[in-house]
């Protein structure tokens, strides 16, 4: 069994030189939001959920992106409502959110 049941990594990369990057699309703010929400819902901790920032996941052009392991499911999102749906559907109920899948 995985140490975390759902380990979530937000690409929070900041590219320079004007290249597309997740952080220009609000990644860090929405990662902070997700982390707080997961904690408030009592979902965080070993055997449960962990939300992390990560360096560049190298899919910035399709992003902002987040990946849920060990499932290996990748999502994109645009706002808090999308993040809420990923939390409620996938992290709480184990159902993949098809409309946000990359």
Classified as helix, coil or strand, 74 is strand
Q: Which of 14, 52, 79, 101 binds a second copy (CB under 8 A)?
A: 52
Joined together, the tokens standing for residue 68 give 């849920």
Site for a second copy contains 37 (CB under 8 A): no
Q: Which of 21, 30, 38, 67 binds a second copy (CB under 8 A)?
A: 67
**CA dist., res. 101 & res. 91, Å (int):** 14
Cβ atoms 91, 43 nearer than 8 A = yes
Q: Which CB, 24 or 59, lies closer to a second copy?
A: 59
Nearest-approach distance from CB 32 to a second copy, in angstroms: 11
**CA dist., res. 14 & res. 2, Å (int):** 30
- Residues forming the site for a second copy (CB under 8 A): 2-3, 7, 9, 50, 52-59, 67, 69-72, 74
């Amino acid at each position: 069994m995985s140490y975390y049941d759902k380990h979530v990594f937000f690409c929070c990369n900041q590219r320079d030189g004007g290249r597309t990057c997740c952080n220009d699309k609000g990644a860090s703010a929405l990662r902070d939001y997700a982390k707080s929400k997961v904690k408030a819902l009592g979902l965080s901790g070993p055997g449960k959920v962990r939300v992390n920032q990560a360096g560049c996941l190298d899919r910035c052009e399709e992003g902002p992106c987040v990946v849920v392991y060990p499932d290996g499911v990748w999502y994109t999102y645009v706002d808090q409502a999308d993040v809420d749906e990923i939390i409620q559907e996938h992290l709480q109920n184990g159902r993949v959110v098809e409309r946000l899948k990359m």
